[in-house]
Structure formats: C-alpha cells, structure tokens
Amino acid sequence: MSAYKHMNESWIKEQKQRSDLVRSRLIVWRKQGSIVRLEKPTRLGRARFLGYKAKQGYIVVRVKTGRGPREKPRPRMGRKPRSLGVTKYTPQKSRRWIAEERAATKYPNLRVLNSYWVGSDHRWLFHEVILVDPNHPVIYNDPAINWICDAIQQGRENRGLTSAGKRSRGLRKKGRGAEKVRPSLGAKGNLAK
C-alpha cells in the first residue's frame, strides 16, 4: 500500500470515529470565514492524488458551504398552498461544485484544478479546493500541468469541466441509462436531471 493511500484511509477512519481532534478542528473552522487560504492541505494524500504539488503556483483554499435545501422567501400575496413554492428546492449541483465556484470567484486569476471533502457538521460542509496560477513560470514551464494555462481552461469550474462538475452533470455514467447526458444536459432538454 502506498503512503498516500494509507494516509487517506487513516483520515477516513479518524473521521468516522469522531475523535477529539476532529471535533476541535471543526470548532475552529466554524468560526473562520467562508473562504480561508491554507499553507498546506489538510488531507495531503488526497490532495496529492488529485494533482497537488508542494511547489510554487499551487494554492489550497478551504471553503465552507451550508447544508440542507434552499428556501425561497415566502410570498406575501395569496396563493393556494400548492403554489407557494418555498421548500424542497434543491440546487442542481453538488456542494463541492458550489465550493469550487466560490473559490474561483474569490481568486479570479487562478484556475481550479480539483477539490475534496475535509469535514462536515450539523450546519456546514468543508471542502478544500486546489487552485493553480497559470501565469506562474513554474506552472507554464511544467509539461505535466501546463495544459491548465490554455485559454480554453478559463472558467472551467463554471462550465462543469472539473471532476465535481462532470459528476454532477452525469458524465461518469456509461452505457444504458446515460443516453441523455451527452453531449450536454442542455442539448437533451435537461431530461437527464
């Protein structure tokens, strides 16, 4: 077993046991802002698996998003109860995808590489987003990552081109039952969602 795989499994085991370390960590995270820049990833094994490298040009950000369904404001004028439309309106994308979009809005000069879950409690979900600076010489001279410097990769999190976006668009499915997800949901009249 590789070291990063072992680190990842021990992290998940620690989360399931809800140890004092996990509880104290979540208490600190709750009090911080919604987007916090980090020195290094909390889950190093997972970050390395998703493309993070400990060198210049890579930035890790922790994003806090709310849990539960969205609620629209209650209408002031009369409606029949069926038409109020207040509860049970859920977003058509995952919280992880939303976290990536928020991180990209906060840091518009960076590109989103990937993201992963780091914790959750009764009210908040915490994800860490790996961002890459396409204008940094270390990045655009590295053949392993300089594909992200192309102009077509700008705004990739908003177009559902990251891992979280592709998953939410249904592009992990293949074969029977996945006829209406390609080339896109919009092209098929949003019948797949």
Burial of 103 (0-12, 13-18, 19+ CB in 10 A): buried
Domain of 141 in residue numbering reads as 3-151
What Å distances lie between residue 113 and 53, 142, 144, 151, CA to CA?
11, 15, 13, 14
Read off the pTM. Answer: 0.88
Half-sphere exposure at residue 172, Cβ-oriented, CA atoms within 13 angstroms? 7
Q: Is residue 185 part of a domain?
A: no
In this structure, is residue 92 part of a structural domain? yes
| CA–CA gap between residue 64 and residue 171 (Å, rounded) | 26
pLDDT at 1 over 80: no
Domain-embedded: residue 183: no
Give the CATH number, domain containing residue 110.
3.40.1120.10
Mind listing the pLDDT tens digit for each residue in 41-66? 999 989 999 999 999 999 999 999 99
* Residues of the chain by 3-state class (helix, strand, coil), percent to 5: 35, 20, 45
- Does residue 169 sit within a domain? no
102 is a domain residue: yes
Length of the chain: 193
Q: Is residue 190 part of a domain?
A: no
In a domain, 55, yes or no: yes
| pLDDT score recorded for residue 21 | 78
Q: Indicate the Cα dihedral angle 161, 164, 165, 168, nearest 10°.
A: 150
Question: Rounded to 5 degrees, what angle do the CA atoms 38, 44, 45 make?
Answer: 155
Residue 171 inside a domain? The answer is no
| Total number of domains in the chain | 1
Compute the distance between CA of residue 142 and CA of residue 35 in angstroms, rounded to an integer: 28
The pLDDT tens digits of the residues spanning 85-140 come to: 888 788 888 999 999 999 999 999 999 999 999 999 889 999 999 999 999 999 99
CB burial class (10 A; 0-12, 13-18, 19+) of residue 49? middle
Higher pLDDT, 9 or 139: 139
Which has the minimum average pLDDT: 27-36, 70-79, 121-130, 175-184? 70-79
* Averaged pLDDT of the chain: 90
State residue 178's pLDDT score.
87
